[in-house]
Structure 1
């Protein structure tokens, strides 16, 4: 996410140095749906302009740890819904503190920001990109506990946002994806994403793909993360990943 620039060190490993990151939209399958992810770094957003530019979905930062709420989460979710953008929300994981407490905090904020319901939102997102100095075994156990709590509260597992190298080196490269769709961070061509998909999702591939942090979208000031929903294969319909 744009909230942590150090993510660039593990998004694509050596490939990033060769490609220099994508500043334009890479070649992709025509079926993919376009989206963005945002936080307070983008400030106020003109969601009508974002929607008119062809954006189908957007995911806003909601919380971090157990004490931080993004100051724009309420207006972002409301703005998305008002113009017909499919809304989503993410939690920036802090594996150094209690996962259940973080999941409770996250779900409470999102529930309130969505008007006292989870209905219509994309499955809630766990943004997994830092260890807080914890071991891979700890980070995976933490992830399991967080996902289990979100499932208990919302009835749906999380979407996990991560990259190949982080999952391999900092989560321990488990084969178990916890029944969570993958939001892959990889600033490479689409053809290269298969090789950069963590092994836990090797059979299904990514559901969402963040392909740049330097995107430009009407209605958003400055750079913004841009994403695709696969919209084919294992993930043929984005509405299947919305909470009823």
Structure 2
């Protein structure tokens, strides 16, 4: 396992030093881009430029809500604009400020992204997807690389995925250490299930698929 990916949003503040993070071993940064059908994270554009300037891999995630899945996917793509070298992710979790995304809208979201870009987005979730699917295997969502959120010592995947691609083991406060990253502070930290070479290949392979499509 490789502990080299962080994910951030406006909650992490605006004074982040990605050069320090890179020197501390961070390879990839996944930034919140959008939520629902209209919200845009105010730090998205600035952090995207800074992450890429620091020579780090860049990804963007959308926080799903109960709104139409296709319109949410369109909003996500419109905000990102240039998809070049950008890993796409659907964040599927309980929404504390409104309606949560139903399974059918999650399927619509990832399917629209696949048809629009040529690649399935990664799918981030933890207890929410385990509760929603139970022991069933979802034939649509299983196409997406699985990013597990579980703040404990042992990652456990739902039956839809035979294994996890990334594992968010801490939110910067709960879960195993380390919690902090130089230049960032306490933050969401993630293991990649492989080596650095495999991480870079997997991250960039989605871009290759989009270009071919």
More strand by share: 2
TM-score (norm 2): 0.84
Closer, same or farther in 2 for the Cα pair 1:171/1:133, shift >3 Å? farther
**Bigger relative CO (Cα 8 Å, ≥ 6 apart):** 1
Could you list the runs of 5+ residues in structure 2 that have no partner in the other structure?
173-178, 209-213
Q: Find 1:169's aligned residue among 131, 135, 148.
A: 131
SS of residue matched to 2:86: coil
Q: 2:175 matched to which residue of 1? A: none
How many residue pairs get matched?
194
CA offset at residue 240 of structure 1? 2.5
Q: Counterparts of 2:32 and 2:99 in 1: how far apart (Å)?
A: 23
Q: Counterparts of 1:158 and 1:227 in 2: how far apart (Å)?
A: 17
Supply the RMSD in Å over aligned alpha carbons. Answer: 2.0
CA offset at residue 80 of structure 1? 1.0
Q: Find 1:159's aligned residue among 105, 122, 133.
A: 122
Deviating 4+ runs (over 4 angstroms) = 131-134
Asked if 1:208 is matched to 2:154, the reply is no
Instruction: Assess if the C-alpha contact under 8 Å between 1:229 and 1:238 holds in 2.
Output: no
TM-score (norm 1): 0.74
Q: Find 1:239's aligned residue among 201, 204, 208.
A: 201
Q: Find 2:183's aligned residue among 201, 215, 219.
A: 219
Q: Counterparts of 1:88 and 1:199 in 2: how far apart (Å)?
A: 26
Q: 2:20 matched to which residue of 1? A: 49
Q: 1:179 matched to which residue of 2? A: 143
CA offset at residue 77 of structure 1? 1.1
Q: Counterparts of 1:144 and 1:209 in 2: how far apart (Å)?
A: 21
